[in-house]
Amino acid sequence: MERDGQIAIAPDARDRRSRLVTTTEVGRHVWRELALPKIQAYYGRILADFSVNDAAHMLHYLLKILGAMQRLDAAPGSETAVESKAGRGKP
């Protein structure tokens, strides 16, 4: 992507080990005009046979799953809660 001018990579002045990656105008064009319409068309075809009621039920269950995941992650003793408190990937 860098070679094609879609992203720019620069050193991070605050941390020499890091690199700052930004999308260029060319990259934004590729995303908006080329990639996004294909992604939207793909999902449009997938959902074409779903009724409004089907979509509402699907959203309801996805939100229910998300809520359960958030509760599990926030529970004392969960791996995610331990990782957050430790400030790194492992306690």
Domain that holds residue 62: 51-91
Model confidence pLDDT, tens digit, residues 40-78: 999 999 999 999 999 999 999 999 999 999 999 998 887
**Helix 79-86 × helix 52-74 angle, to 10°:** 60
Is residue 86 over pLDDT 70? no
Do 79 and 59 share a domain, yes or no?
yes
Do 7 and 24 share a domain, yes or no?
yes
The structural domain count of the chain equals: 2
Q: Are 48 and 55 within 8 A, CB to CB?
A: no
Q: Model pTM greater than 0.95?
A: no
